[in-house]
Structure 1
Amino acid sequence: MAGNGDIQWCFSQVKGTLEDDVTEADIISCVEFNHDGDLLATGDKGGRVVIFQRDPISKNSIPRRGEYNVYSTFQSHEPEFDYLKSLEIEEKINKIRWLKRKNPSHFLLSTNDKTIKLWKVSERDKRVEGYNTKEENGAIRDPACVTALRVPTIKPMELMVEASPRRIFANAHTYHINSISVNSDQETYLSADDLRINLWHLEITDQSFNIVDIKPTNMEELTEVITAAEFHPAECNVLVYSSSKGTIRLCDMRSAALCDQHSKLFEEPEDPTNRSFFSEIISSISDVKLSNSGRYMISRDYLSVKVWDLQMETKPIECYPVHEYLRSKLCSLYENDCIFDKFECCWSGNDSAIMTGSYNNFFRVFDRTTKRDLTLEAARDIAKPKTLLKPRKVCTGGKRKKDEISVDCLDFNKKILHTAWHPSENVVAVAATNNLFLFQDKL
C-alpha cells in the first residue's frame, strides 16, 4: 500500500437503487469488511444485513479491481415492543463485527439497540439423495415398509448461501447499544451502551459481566455518556471507550473486575479562544478506532479527527480538521439537529491513512506521511467504472472559483456517516444514504 496522499481514487461500483425517493428502511447504518477483505457487510435501518463477496476475477485481474457481488441477504432484526417500558425497539442494525474465520463458514455479530445476534453464514453446494427412512420430498417413511437398505449418495446442487442465527444475546442493556467489539482472543466480546460496558463469552448467552459502569447513584448528577468502545487488536485485556465529554479512557481488565478506575485518560485541553455555546456538543467523540498495529488510535469529534499515541495521554499527536468551514454554521446545524450526527472514522490497512465522512456526500482521506488531505464525493454522476474522482473544495468567502462549492450550497441531508477500508488494499466502501459506493486506487 503506497502513501495515500498521492493516490488517485477512481470509482469502482455503486450498490443500491439510484432513485430519489428513498425509504427509511433502506438507509445503510453500518459497513464492515471482514478480516481478509473478501466479504463486505452492510446493515440498514430495516434490520437487514447484506453481505457482498469480492469478485474473484476482479481480485486476480491485472490491474486488480475492487468489485463485489451480492453474496447473501438476510433479515437480522425485527421491530419489537418493550411492554414494560412502553417503548418501541427499532430493528435498525447499529453495528456489525466479523469474527476471524476458523472453518469454511463465516461468523458475524450484529446488534440493534438491545439485542446482539451471532450469525453463521455457510455455503451448500451438495445434497444427499437416497435416504432409507424418508422420501425425496422429505416425508417420513414407515420403517416397516423399508425392505432394502441403500447407501445415500451426495449429488452436486446449485450453490446456496444460508445465514442462520447461532446465538442471541439479549436483556443485558438498559440503554441503547452503540458498540460491539470482538476481543483478540476471539472468545469474548464487549457491548457498550450509554452508561455501561458488558463483557460476553461467545458461547454463553444468558450471562454477561459488567466491566464498566458510569451510572451515578443519582441520575441528576449524570454529566457524560459512553459513545464508543473497542478492544485492543492484540492485547486481550485492554479496551478503550470514549465519552460525550471528549475524553477517551483506556482500561486494563487485569487490574480489577470492574474497570471503574481507568489506566489512562486521553484528553486535549480546550482552546479558550474557540470556546462557545457549542463547545461541549462538538467535543463529544462519536467514534474511536485503534490502529491495526495497536500503537495508535483515532477519535472523531464533530469537526475533526485526532490521532493519539497510546503512550502519550496529554494531547493528540496529529489533528486533522474535517470541515472547519462549518464552525461559523454551528447555530443552524444545532437548529436542524445535524450537530448531533455521529460520524465514524477508519484506518487504512497499514495505518498510514485515515478516512471519515462529511456532508454533501463528501468524505475525507488524510495521509499521515505526506500530511496531504483529499475531499472526495460519492456522487451518482461519476458512476462509471474507472472514473477518476476529482478532489472537491469548499469555499467560505465571497469569490468562488470554478470548481469550488460554496459552504451555503452544501446539502446537509446527504451525509457520509459510515465508511470502511479494505484491510490490505486501497479499496474503500462508503455508505451514502441507501447506496454503497466502492472506490479504489488507480494503479
Structure 2
Amino acid sequence: MRQSALCDHGARLLQDAEYHGSKSFFTEIITSISHLKFTNDGRHILSRDYMSLKLWDTRRDALPVAVFKIHEHLRPKLCDLYNNDSIFDKFGCCVSRDGLHFATGSYSNLLRIFSRGLGSEEGIAIEASENSNRKPLLHSASRARRTSLSNLTRGFYRQAHENSSPGSNDFSRDMSSKLLHLAWHPTENLVACASGSSLFMYYA
C-alpha cells in the first residue's frame, strides 16, 4: 500500500554530513549535483558536483562510500570562478559495466578515471586532444593486459606518480576547454567524451 497520496517527502535522503557544518557563499553552488548515474546492479549511485565525484550506497543514508576530488585545487579561486561563471559549469559522469570504474571530465579537456579498491582516490588524468604527441591511453598496456580495465588503471596511476612531482597540479589549465559530456559503453571498456564539436573515444 502507498504511504501517502502526495509525493512531498522523499522515501530516502542521501546527504553528505560534511556540508552540514559551516557554509560559505559558494557552498550551495559547488555542492549542487550536476549529474548522476546508477550502477548496473542498482546498489550504488554515482554523482558529480563541481568539486568532486561521489559514490553512494543506496542502503546507507549517511556519508558517501567514496569521494574522488576533481577540482579541489580550484577552491582558493572560487571568487574568480564565480565572476567568470565557470563555477556554474555542469560536468557529467559515467560508470563502467561492473560498477568498479568511474569517469568524469574537467578543464583543459581532461578525462579523469577512478577505480574502487585501487588504494588511492587520485585516479588518472588523460587529455582529450587531437595532438598525436600526447601520451595515449590505449597503447601503454600490452594486448594481454587490455582485457582488464583494472590493470590499465593501475598502470596509468603508477606511471603518473613516477613522472610527476608534488607540484604537478600547478600547471596552467585552460578554463575555456572543458570536458562536460561523456558516456561508458554498456558492454565494452569504451569511454566516449565530447568537447565542443569533437568526439573522443578511449578503449581499454
TM-score (norm 2): 0.78
Q: Which residue identity does 1:419 align to in structure 2?
A: L
Report matched runs for 1:371-382 at 5 Å. 371-372=119-120, 373-382=123-132
Does residue 263 of structure 1 match 2:11? Answer: yes
User: Which structure 2 residues correspond to residues 189-228 of structure 1 after superposition, within 5 A?
Assistant: none
Whichever structure has more helix as a proportion of its residues is: 2
* Corresponding residue for residue 324 of structure 1: 72
Say whether the 8 Å CA contact 1:347–1:421 is kept in structure 2. yes
Distance 1:354 1:274, change over 3 A: farther
- Give the whole-Å Cα distance in 1 for the aligned partners of 2:22 and 2:176: 27
Q: Which amino acid aligns with 1:427?
A: L
Deviation at 1:254, TM superposition (A): 4.9
- CA-atom RMSD, angstroms? 2.9
Q: Which amino acid aligns with 1:440?
A: Y
For residues 163-190 of structure 1, give each alpha carbon's deviation from its aligned partner in whole angstroms, at most 9, with x where no partner exists: xxxxxxxxxxxxxxxxxxxxxxxxxxxx
TM superposition shift of 1:371: 3.8
Matched residue pairs, number? 182
Residues 329-382 of structure 1, C-alpha deviation per residue, up to 9 Å, x if partnerless? Answer: 111111110101111111111100111111010121110121441111101113
Structure 2: how far apart are the matches of 1:284 and 1:430? Answer: 22
Partner of 2:145: none
Task: After TM superposition, list the pairs within 5 Å mapping 1:97-176 onto structure 2.
Answer: none
Q: Which residue is equivalent to 2:51?
A: 303
Matched, 1:419 2:182: yes
Shift of the 405–317 alpha-carbon distance from structure 1 to 2, 3 Å rule, reads: closer
**In structure 2, what is the Cα distance between the partners aligned to 1:344 and 1:371?**
24
Aligned-pair CA distance for 1:305: 1.0
Structure 1 residues 352 and 297: alpha-carbon distance in aligned structure 2, compared to 1, 3 A threshold: same
State the one-letter code of the partner of 2:170: S
Q: Where does residue 201 of structure 2 map in the other structure? A: 438
- For residue 42 of structure 2, the aligned residue among 279, 294, 297 is 294
Judged with a 3 Å threshold, the aligned counterparts in structure 2 of structure 1 residues 436 and 258 are, in CA distance, closer, same or farther, namely farther
Which of the numbers 406, 413, 422 marks the counterpart of 2:170?
406
Give the AA of the match of 2:74.
L
Structure 1 match to 2:86: 338
Contact kept, 8 Å, 1:303 with 1:321, in 2: the verdict is: yes
**Match for 1:350 among 88, 98, 105?**
98
1:273 to partner: Cα distance? 7.8
Q: Which amino acid aligns with 1:406?
A: D
Aligned counterparts of 1:376 and 1:255: Cα–Cα separation in 2: 48
2:150: which partner in 1? none
**DSSP-derived class of the 1:382 partner:** coil
* Residue aligned with 2:17, SS: coil
CA distance in 2: counterparts of 1:278 and 1:335, whole angstroms: 12
Q: Which residue of 1 aligns with 2:111?
A: 363
Maintained 8 Å contact 1:353/1:368: yes
Please report how far the alpha carbon of residue 255 of structure 1 lies from its aligned counterpart in structure 2 after TM superposition.
4.1
Residue aligned with 1:265, SS: coil
Q: TM-score with structure 1 length normalisation?
A: 0.38
> Which is richer in strand?
1
Give the Cα separation in 1 of the matches to 2:75 and 2:24.
10
> What corresponds to 2:147 in structure 1?
none
- Structure 2 Cα separation of the partners of residues 378 and 356 of structure 1: 12
Query: Residue deviations 1:286-319, cap 9 Å, x none?
Result: 1121111000101111101111111111111111
The SS at the match of 1:380 is: coil
Separation in structure 2 between the aligned mates of residue 257 and residue 431 of structure 1, nearest angstrom = 42
Separation in structure 2 between the aligned mates of residue 356 and residue 254 of structure 1, nearest angstrom: 37
CA distance change for structure 1 residues 335 and 314 in 2, over 3 Å: closer, same or farther?
same
Alpha-carbon offset, residue 439 of structure 1 = 0.6
Give the CA deviation at 1:387: 4.9
Deviation of residue 406 (structure 1)?
A: 2.9
| 2:13 alignment partner, SS class | strand
Given the superposition, is the C-alpha separation of residues 379 and 388 from structure 1 closer, same or farther in structure 2, using an over 3 Å criterion? farther
On the 8 A contact 1:350/1:424 being kept in 2, the answer is: no
| Structure 1 counterpart SS, 2:187 | coil
TM-superposed deviation, 1:270? 3.3
1:89-132: CA deviation from partner (whole Å, max 9, x where unpaired): xxxxxxxxxxxxxxxxxxxxxxxxxxxxxxxxxxxxxxxxxxxx
